[in-house]
Structure 1
Amino acid sequence: MQHDRRRFVRGIALSGLHRSPACFAISYFRAFVIDIRTVSSFSRTQEKVFASPGELRAAVRAGRFAGQTAGQCPGYVQTNVVILPAEYADEFAEFCGANDRPCPLVAMTSPGDPRLPDVAADADLRTDVPRYRVFRGGAADRVEPTDIRGLWRDDFVGFLLGCSFTFEAALVAAGLRVRHIDEGRNVPMYRTNRPCRSAGRFAGPLVVSMRPYRRDQINEVVRITGEFPRMHGAPVHVGDPAAIGIADITKPDFGDAVTIHEDELPVFWACGVTPQLALVAAKPEIAITHSPGHMFVTELRDEAFREVVHIAS
C-alpha cells in the first residue's frame, strides 16, 4: 500500500492533474473554529535577506532565524508543510488531489524519514522550518515551536505543498511590486465561504492569500502567476471580498493586514494554509504544519515550475 500511495502522489505532483474548479463551489461552508490569535506576529523588518536556501535553513536550524520567509531566497521554491501520522497519509493525498489549487503536492517523505533529498540534500523537516504549528485532536497549540525533534514519530509522513511566495520573484521582476514584502509584513490570508472537496476525514473551507494591484496591472498579474500552476497558479477571485465570505479585508485570519490604495483591488490566490483548517475536521491525534508565512525553502528553482504557453502568431 505504501508503494502504491507514493506512486499515486508522485503522479499528482509531477503531472499537474486534477485542476478541477470544484474546490471553489459557491455554496456556503461554515468555517471550523481555530484560535487564529495564536499565530505569532513576526518582526516588521527582516534582519537579513538570505540568497541561499542552504544558508537560510542553517540559520533556522541553529536558532538564528525564526521569521516569515516572504522575499527570502528569490528564485527558489518555498513550500507549505503538513506532517501527519501514516494512517492519515492516503486520505490527505486524496484531499490534495481533489483540491490541487490550494494543495499542489510537490513532494512527500517516507514514513518516519524527515529527509527530503530530492528537494534539498541536507534538509531535515524537524529543524528547518522557521516556526511550526502543532495540532492535537484538531486544535492548535498556543506555543509555536522552532524545532520538532522531540515530537517526531516513526510513523510521520511529511508533505510539501506549493506556495505562492515562489511566484513573487517573477512578479517583482516584471515590475509588479508585492505589498507585504515592501511593508515587511506577512502576507494576509483569509478563510472564505468556498468549500473544498472532502476526502475521507479531511474537509474544510478554502483559504486565500491577498495582494493588491491596480486595475491596469491585473491582467499581467494573472498571466504571470498562471504560469505557476503548482504554486497556486492564477488568482481565484479579484475584487469584492464579501463575495467570497470575507467580512473585513483589514482583519486577516492569518498573517498581517497590508495597505490597499484607493486605485487598487484586492487579488486573491488559493493558499496552502487551507490544509490546516482541514486538520480541524480530521482531528488526528497529532499533526504538525508550518506556521502561516514561515515556509520550508527548497533547493528547487522556481523556473522549473513555470509553465509558459507560447502562442504562435
Structure 2
Amino acid sequence: MSPDFDRADPHAVRLAARTGALTGHTAHLAPGRVQANLAILPVALAHDFLRFCQRNPKPCPLLAVSEPGDPMLPMLGRDVDIRTDVPRYRVWCDGELVSEPTDIRDLWRDDLVAFLIGCSFSFEAAMLADGLPVRHIEQGTNVPMYRTNVPTVEAGPFGGPMVVSMRPLTAAQAIRAVQVTSRFPAVHGAPVHLGDPAAIGIADIGKPDYGDPVEMRPGEIPVFWACGVTPQSVIEHARPPFSISHAPGHMLVTDLSNSAVAVM
C-alpha cells in the first residue's frame, strides 16, 4: 500500500475511498474503529430485511439503518456518504452480479435504504492487542470467508445459509479468542464453530467462497466467526430486482470506537 492517506484516521480512509485512492480491502485500516458491512435495498423490501437482521443477530448485527433516499449516515461518523465511502461495491439485478463500481452516486434512488452491519474486522484490533495472531493481516490479504450449511432464520423472501470468516489459531489461542471476541456482540461476537470445517459444510478450507486463502500452520485449527457477507448471500438468493452490497472485505470504516460497542 502506498502512504497516500492517513490509514489510522477513519475520516481519511473514507475520503480515500471517495476519491478513488483506496479501492482495496480495509483489513487493519483505522485500528480501533468499527467497520461495517453494507446492504442497500428498495424500501419495499426494507421491513422484511430488518426482521431478518433482528432474527439473525450473529451474522447480521445491525449498527445503523438509513432513512429512505438519504445517503448520509451521521450516526456513524463525520460526513459519511454511503454512495462514495465504501472502497468497492457490488450491484445486483435479479440476484445476478452486474458490476463492481467504486462509486454508486449515479445508481442512488429516493426509495433506497442502507443497512450497516457489524464486521469482524472490528474485533481484530482487540485480538492483536491480546497477542493473538490474525493471519490475513500478517499475509496482507483479505480474510477467507465460506458459505456453510448452517441455516439462518427466514423473514419474508430472505433466508439461506450463514457465511463465516476464518482465522487459524492454536487450541489455546482459540480459547482466548472466544473470551476476547465475546465482548463484541455488535460485531459478531464469539466464534460459531471451531475445528472440522466439514461439520459446517465447508468442503475445502483452501478454497474460500470469498476473500483469500491463508496459511494453516502445524498445531492450528480453523476458528470460524459469523460473517457480515451473510446478508449479501441471502439477498443474492432472494433475487430482488435491484440491490447493492459492499465487495467482500471492502468495508465502510466508521468513526465509532471498538470500545463503544464492547461489553466490558
Query: TM-score under structure 2 normalisation?
Result: 0.98
1:6-85 to structure 2, matched below 5 A, reads 46-48=1-3, 50-85=7-42
Q: Hey, what's the Cα distance between the residues in 2 that align with 1:251 and 1:204?
A: 20
Once the two structures are superposed, what CA deviation does each residue of 1:172-220 show, in whole Å capped at 9, x if it has no partner? 0011121000100000000001110110010111000000001121111
Q: Hey, what's the Cα distance between the residues in 1 that align with 2:174 and 2:160?
A: 29
1:101-116 to structure 2, matched below 5 A, reads 101-116=58-73
Equivalent in the alignment of 2:228:
272
Once the two structures are superposed, what CA deviation does each residue of 1:9-37 show, in whole Å capped at 9, x if it has no partner? xxxxxxxxxxxxxxxxxxxxxxxxxxxxx
In the alignment of these two chains, the number of paired residues is 262
Are residue 288 (structure 1) and residue 241 (structure 2) matched? no
Are residue 238 (structure 1) and residue 189 (structure 2) matched? no
Residue type at the aligned position of 2:232: Q
Equivalent in the alignment of 2:95:
138
Are residue 88 (structure 1) and residue 88 (structure 2) matched? no
Are residue 306 (structure 1) and residue 252 (structure 2) matched? no
**Shift of the alpha carbon at 1:231?**
0.4
Once the two structures are superposed, what CA deviation does each residue of 1:221-278 show, in whole Å capped at 9, x if it has no partner? 0000010011000000000000000000000000000001011000000000001111
RMSD: 0.9
Unaligned residue ranges in structure 1 (runs of 5+): 1-45, 309-313
Q: Hey, what's the Cα distance between the residues in 2 that align with 1:125 and 1:57?
A: 10
Q: Hey, what's the Cα distance between the residues in 2 that align with 1:284 and 1:245?
A: 26
Q: Hey, what's the Cα distance between the residues in 1 that align with 2:181 and 2:115?
A: 23
Are residue 263 (structure 1) and residue 219 (structure 2) matched? yes
Q: Hey, what's the Cα distance between the residues in 2 that align with 1:118 and 1:229?
A: 19
Q: Hey, what's the Cα distance between the residues in 2 that align with 1:221 and 1:106?
A: 23
Whether the aligned pair in 1 keeps the contact of 2:158 and 2:235 (CA below 8 Å) is yes
Are residue 176 (structure 1) and residue 132 (structure 2) matched? yes
Residue type at the aligned position of 2:188: H
* Residue from 204, 208, 212 that aligns with 2:160: 204
Whether the aligned pair in 1 keeps the contact of 2:144 and 2:213 (CA below 8 Å) is yes
Equivalent in the alignment of 1:185:
141
**Shift of the alpha carbon at 1:51?**
0.3
**Shift of the alpha carbon at 1:280?**
2.0
Q: Return the index of the structure with the highest Cα Rg.
A: 1
Identity, in percent, stands at 56
Equivalent in the alignment of 1:27:
none
Deviates more, 1:277-286 or 1:164-173: 277-286
1:138-157 to structure 2, matched below 5 A, reads 138-141=95-98, 143-157=99-113
Equivalent in the alignment of 1:31:
none
Q: Hey, what's the Cα distance between the residues in 1 that align with 2:190 and 2:131?
A: 17
* Residue from 205, 227, 231 that aligns with 1:249: 205
Whether the aligned pair in 1 keeps the contact of 2:87 and 2:250 (CA below 8 Å) is yes
Whether the aligned pair in 1 keeps the contact of 2:11 and 2:78 (CA below 8 Å) is no
